[in-house]
Structure 1
Amino acid sequence: MTETIPPRAPRPARGPSMADVAERAGVSTQTVSRVANGLTNVEPATRDRVLQAMQVLGYRPNKAARALRSGRFRNIGITMFTLSTYGNMRTLDGITVAAAAAGYSITLVPVRDPTQEAVSSAFTNLVEQAVDGIILLIEAHLVDNSEVELPPGLPVVVVDSGARADYPVVDNDQTEGARLATQHLLDLGHDTVWHVAGPEGSYPASRRHESWRDTLQAHGRAVPPLFRGDWTAASGHALGLEIAHRPEITAVFAANDAMALGIMSALHESGRRIPQDVSIVGFDDMAESDSFWPPLTTVHQDFDLVGQRSIEILLEEIEHAPIVPVRSIVPVRLVLRASTGTPPHAP
């Protein structure tokens, strides 16, 4: 019995090569290579002619081959716990915009569980994705655990963390922001300020909590018991119902705007007026915070600048040489709106 061998499928047509582009543009292949790799030692008119030839022919540079030649993939790895919080999303947006402007792409690997194993697995995943460096957006003390090994041999920048001294850190000024919020309420005449903190294990939450406490103590004021939320408006609402039934509470500093929104909703439902009965300050300055009822006094964080600085520091390490680990702190400011006022007993 004779076996019939099916005909081999025809090979796909070869795409345009660098030589094809060079021929059409009337330049050497070395010139095409320089344009494809973004080098600047090409006359503008020649560059335009090469780019036009690439477009007409449908030429796409081979990124893999380029990476082999240059030793760079022009890809930055990002790992983070959650995409659901306002701060993380805004910071990630700032990172991606800055990376794109520098000609780098982004590979995102989320970490679902705040465990050493999960973080280490994310690092391994990113290294396998061929990245030139990594930015960590992990709001947890876990990163500072000496048992957590960050990727060896790769530039790393950490956002919203900071006890480790062996990697650069970029962060908004959490301490100053909480001080400004607490000080503002004290200056209005409130005897003390209650605090709705973020979740345990979060660096922003712990820094804001510590600064709130230190500011009260510096002024000789009582430090009330802490309320603990989880960054969500739902947790703020649940705590706000308790706050609403405690007439001694006249000033509240919420660790983020979402929880402040939940607190305000609960106060409205309970018949407590803002700011006549209770003053509220948030933290973040969400785009919607000026549309709260009433508009929310809050601490403005520059997430775009945090993202930009993270990329700048990382690219300095990638493209030049390792730098001395630094802490880059981005200034914050207090935005005054209608949710704060003098306490009910004030004249």
Structure 2
Amino acid sequence: MSDTDIPEATGRAPSIRDVARVAGVSYQTVSRVINNSSQLRPETAAKVRSAIAELKFVPNQAARALATSRSRLIGVLGPRVTTHGVASMVQAVESAARAAGYRLTVTNLATSDPDDVRASIDHLMQQSIEGLIAVAPQTRVIPILEELQLPVPVQTVTSTGVSTSHNDQAAGARAAVRHLIELGHTRILHIAGPRDWVEADHRMRGYLAEMDASDLPPRPPILGDWTAQFGYEAGRELLRTEDVTAVFAGNDHMALGFMHAVRAIGRSVPEDISVVGFDDVPESAHLWPPLTTVRQDFVGIGTRAVADLLTTLGEFRGDVPAAEPDHLRLIVRSSTAPPSR
């Protein structure tokens, strides 16, 4: 290639034909590499990728969509409240999708009202998405997705419904409550998540099931909103009226707020009351005392959702890692102890 043919010398961006000349292949071969075709010899694909890197070539997504009649766009439907788990899963989805040559378009629900859900899905469909991933949807979302019978594959990331990327939230909750019972606690209160969240419902069911299995009377669960502020306000109120020795919170942030309330009234964790959370957010190990909680493999769940969606699209990628088989695990720290006598 002469100097006048080099994109930098002419002030223009490198094209697919520039890549083809440097790699010594046809531009159709370059196109196949860009579109992750499996019908190429590895050494040919490696030469093309080397030329792409050398020229710093960036494929034109719009041109690719026109040429292939495909958008290579995945829609993500998120909840109106973004928790640590939801954010981590969306990041994992984006990373796995990008590695497979796809882009994301994300829409968060304004409310769980059916009209808002349908409008959000319609907004994503208007962008010619090739598949949809619904991350941690509220209970109303799943039946609407089934009702609409969308013309693209749908992958839900939740503890129930049509998902193959699910967590057994009830089992995780039972492990948390069982831990408290094995320490000797019998008066255990549950601060649950919002009523319309699938995960909150399953964690509450796990609490009730484990209490029943141990012949212990459950306290009526308190419905929260996932925030530390709710955990704090609920704790200030409950600690004046409830005679409990342990609390299982539906997530770590509500557990954090509850622990603040315990300290605010002059009591301590775990000497006066034990606390267990759920999710194992990064801050949990650094609270005082460090929080006992249920760890989830959010990154694995997100990447598995993309792998499942790609399989449905006929583009299975064996290099996409799966979630750990044991992706809910009780992490015991210093916020739990036997009840004081």
Q: Which residue of 2 aligns with 1:170?
A: 165
Corresponding position: 1:268 with 2:266: no
Give distance in 2, aligned partners of 1:220 and 1:59.
66
Asked whether the equivalents of residues 159 and 202 of structure 2 are also in contact (C-alpha less than 8 Å), the reply is no
Give secondary structure in 2 for the equivalent of 1:139.
Answer: coil
Aligned mate of 1:241, from 223, 236, 241: 236
Aligned counterpart for 1:90 among listed residues 88, 91, 98: 88
Q: 1:90 to 1:62 in 2, by over 3 A?
A: closer
Give SS of 1:92's match. Answer: helix
Q: Give the match for residue 75 of structure 2.
A: 77
1:318 deviation in Å? 1.1
Q: What SS does the aligned partner of 1:280 have? A: strand
Deviation at 1:195, TM superposition (A): 0.6
Query: In 1, are the aligned partners of 2:279 and 2:294 still within 8 Å (CA)?
Result: yes
The one of the two structures with greater contact order (alpha-carbon pairs below 8 A, sep at least 6) is 1
Residue 248 of structure 2 aligns to a residue whose secondary structure is strand
Match of 2:155 among 154, 157, 172: 157
Task: State TM-score, norm by structure 1.
Answer: 0.84
Task: Pick closer, same or farther for the CA change 1:183–1:68 going to 2, 3 Å.
Answer: same
Residue 259 in structure 1 maps to residue 248 in structure 2: no
SS in structure 2 of the partner of residue 78 of structure 1:
strand
RMSD in angstroms over aligned alpha carbons? 2.7
Deviations 1:33-60 (A, max 9, x none): 3333333555566545544555666654
- Structure 1 unpaired stretches of 5+: 1-12, 322-327
1:298-317 matches, cutoff 5 A: 298-317=293-312
AA at the equivalent of 1:195: H
Which AA in structure 1 matches 2:229?
Answer: A
Q: 1:325 is matched with which residue?
A: none
Local SS of the residue matching 2:173: helix
Secondary structure of the structure 2 residue equivalent to 1:200 = coil
**2:226 matches 1:231:** yes
Change in 2 beyond 3 A, CA 1:139/1:329: farther
- Give the match for residue 219 of structure 1: 214
Which of 97, 111, 122 pairs up with 2:109? Answer: 111
- Partners of 1:184 and 1:70 lie apart in 2 by 55
Instruction: Give TM-score, length-normalised by structure 2.
Output: 0.86
Residues 134 and 249 of structure 1, relative CA distance in 2, 3 Å threshold:
same
Query: Which of structures 1 and 2 has the bigger CA Rg?
Result: 1
Length, aligned pairs only: 325
Aligned equivalent of 1:10: none
Amino acid paired to 1:180: A
Matched with 1:334 is 330
Change beyond 3 A, Cα 1:150–1:307: farther
Indicate whether 1:202 and 2:200 are aligned. Answer: no
How far apart are 1:26 and its partner, in Å?
Answer: 3.6
CA distance in 2, matches of 1:252, 1:224: 10
How far does residue 15 in structure 1 lie from its aligned partner after superposition? 5.9
2:313 is paired with a residue whose SS is: helix
Structure 2: state its 5+ residue gaps. 1-10, 317-323
3-state SS, counterpart of residue 277 of structure 2: strand
Task: Report the AA paired with residue 28 of structure 2.
Answer: Q
More helix by share: 2
Please say if 1:296 is aligned against 2:294: no
2:20 aligned partner:
22
Counterparts in 2 of 1:186 and 1:59: CA distance versus 1, 3 Å: closer
- Is the Cα contact below 8 Å between 2:80 and 2:108 reproduced in 1? yes
* Structure 2 CA distance for aligned equivalents of residues 41 and 308 of structure 1: 25
